[in-house]
């Protein structure tokens, strides 16, 4: 791209790990910033023609940079930080906002190297590295967590403020001395557009469960399939849908595993779909049996906005979306029997689907309105209202 030669009043660089996530998770924030008259650069390592066009339609300027999403290669990673620093020196931002662990580390370091005046980071969940495995933990994962913790600590010391989506993650980073609590701001979720994700009529016959997620073991997909198999032995007409594409993460499921569930009639798997809303509207209950270190799952916020009851785990991030017995049920992670029992409650009492769905919508309006959350972010960045870098927490 052609870099501008004249510096406007305020320039903002948003540094992510995927063009897709910039559009889907930061799109409304970009529009908000552009609406205030700020010049926004959206940085990602994997732009194509379509994603570049969408970012431009939001009013931002797409910028390519080098980043490996997974794995650690010290030589390449050091080279990527230097190249990112040189890029930021050319862009001359007044503010950077990095999100996802790798961009948080590299983006904050690079912005510090070129003396960007304000440096912000967003921790959207602790992910694979901080997810406790079942059984003995491999030495490799412990070593990786140690390295990531050290790098995060060094990077976040150079940030003005760090946004977190749940308090468990603040506590974890504080306990590990990765961040001082006064530098943390509890956002409570990234939010959804409540008009775009409008409430849909309840579906009670047949009861259809939906799970939409990256196809990782840690998302509880194996437990979902096992619970579905138990339910189908008693309630043959009940349907179980799984949405999502195959992944390259170390915890990814194989195509063969998923196709086995499809072949035996346990799950329906359309793969990745362009518009989840169409599938959500045809579902009865949204299920996310995750034990992945979530921030606050976006998929669950979307389901709540569409007035769907939620079954999820009593784990960091996931528990933020359910008031037990009001808009759904919380179950212990990896507990197939408890998951199946929660599902069966909706089958035996389908009237719960409408009542709990309406409660989900009300909670989404109170907690997960993306417009309100964008204003919180903007205020803390000093772009509107009053900024307070003092460990303040959102409601």
What's the pLDDT tens digit per position in 315-344? 999 999 999 999 999 999 999 999 999 999
Residue 2 scores a pLDDT above 70: no
Encode 47-79: b = buried (16+ Cβ within 10 Å), e = exposed.
beeebbebbeebebbbbebebeeeeeeeeebee
H or E element at residue 225: helix 221-234
- Is the pLDDT score of 374 beyond 70? yes
Extended beta strands in the chain, E state = 11-15, 39-44, 61-64, 95-99, 118-123, 161-164, 184-186, 208-212, 239-243, 268-271, 285-288, 310-313, 328-331
Lowest mean pLDDT among 28-37, 46-55, 64-73, 386-395: 386-395
Residues facing residue 82 across a β-bridge: none
Give the ranges where 58-99 is alpha helix by DSSP (H).
74-91
pLDDT digits (tens, 9 = 90+) for 24-38: 999 999 999 999 999
CA separation for the pair 261, 240 (Å, rounded): 11
CA dist 302 and 280 (Å) reads 9
Q: What angle do CA 78, 80, 82 make, to 5 degrees?
A: 70
Q: Are 164 and 186 in contact (CB under 8 A)?
A: yes
With a cut of 50, say whether residue 3 has pLDDT above it: no
Task: Kindly state the tokens that stand for 242.
Answer: 């799984």
Average pLDDT over residues 220-249: 95
DSSP category for residue 38: -
Buried/exposed code over 155-191 (b: 16+ C-beta within 10 A; e: otherwise):
bbeebbbbbbbbebbbebbeeeebbeeebbbbbbbbb
Q: What is the pLDDT of residues 194-214, one digit of tens each?
A: 999 999 999 999 999 999 999
Residue 249 has pLDDT above 80, yes or no: no
Burial 22-38 (b: 16+ CB within 10 A, else e): bbebbbbbbbbbeeeeb
**Which segment of 145-154, 155-164, 223-232 scores lowest on mean pLDDT?**
145-154
- Cα gap 34→58, rounded to integer Å: 8
The 10 Å Cβ neighbour count of residue 96 is 29
Q: How many CB atoms lie within 10 A of CB 365?
A: 14
Give yes or no for residue 281 having a pLDDT over 90. yes
Q: What does the pLDDT average to over 91-120?
A: 96
Instruction: Give me the pLDDT at residue 147, please.
Output: 87
pLDDT for 390: 41
pLDDT score of 134 more than 80 = no
pTM for the complete prediction?
A: 0.88
- What is the spatial distance between Cα 62 and Cα 43, in angstroms, rounded to a whole number? 6
Region of poorest pLDDT, from 72-76, 212-216, 261-265: 72-76
- CA proximity to 270, closest of 203, 325, 337, 215: 215
């Amino acid at each position: 791209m052609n870099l501008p030669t004249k510096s406007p009043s305020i320039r903002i660089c948003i540094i992510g790990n995927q063009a897709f996530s910039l559009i889907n998770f930061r799109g409304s924030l970009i529009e908000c910033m552009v609406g205030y008259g700020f010049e926004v650069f959206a940085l990602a390592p994997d732009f194509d023609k379509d994603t570049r066009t969408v970012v431009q339609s939001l009013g931002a300027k797409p910028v390519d940079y080098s980043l490996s999403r997974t794995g650690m290669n010290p030589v390449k990673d050091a080279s990527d930080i230097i190249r990112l620093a040189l890029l930021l020196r050319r862009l001359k931002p007044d503010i950077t906002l990095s999100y996802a662990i790798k961009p948080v580390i590299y983006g904050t370091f690079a912005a510090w190297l070129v003396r960007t005046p304000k440096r912000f980071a967003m921790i959207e969940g602790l992910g694979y590295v901080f997810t406790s495995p079942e059984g003995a933990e491999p030495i490799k994962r412990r070593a990786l967590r140690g390295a990531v913790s050290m790098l995060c600590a060094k990077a976040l010391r150079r940030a003005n403020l760090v946004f977190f989506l749940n308090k468990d993650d603040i506590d974890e980073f504080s306990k590990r001395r990765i961040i001082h609590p006064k530098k943390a701001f509890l956002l409570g979720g990234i939010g959804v557009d409540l008009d775009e994700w409008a409430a849909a009529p309840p579906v009670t016959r047949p009861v259809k469960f939906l799970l939409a997620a990256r196809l990782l073991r840690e998302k509880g997909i194996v437990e979902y399939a096992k619970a579905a198999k138990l339910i189908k032995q008693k309630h043959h007409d009940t349907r179980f849908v799984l949405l999502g594409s195959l992944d390259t993460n170390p915890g990814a499921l194989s195509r063969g595993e998923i196709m086995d569930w499809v072949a035996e009639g346990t799950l329906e798997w359309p793969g990745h779909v362009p518009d989840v809303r169409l599938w959500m509207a045809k579902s009865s209950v949204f299920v996310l049996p995750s034990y992945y270190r979530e921030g606050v799952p976006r998929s669950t916020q979307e389901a709540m906005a569409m007035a769907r009851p939620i079954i999820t785990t009593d784990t960091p991030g996931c528990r933020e979306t359910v008031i037990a017995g009001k808009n759904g049920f919380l179950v212990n992670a990896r507990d197939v029997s408890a998951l199946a029992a929660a599902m069966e409650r909706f089958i035996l009492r389908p009237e719960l689907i409408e009542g709990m769905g309406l409660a989900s919508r009300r909670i989404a309006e109170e907690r997960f309105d993306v417009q309100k959350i964008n204003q919180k972010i903007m205020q803390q960045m000093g772009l509107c209202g009053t900024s307070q870098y003092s460990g303040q927490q959102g409601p």
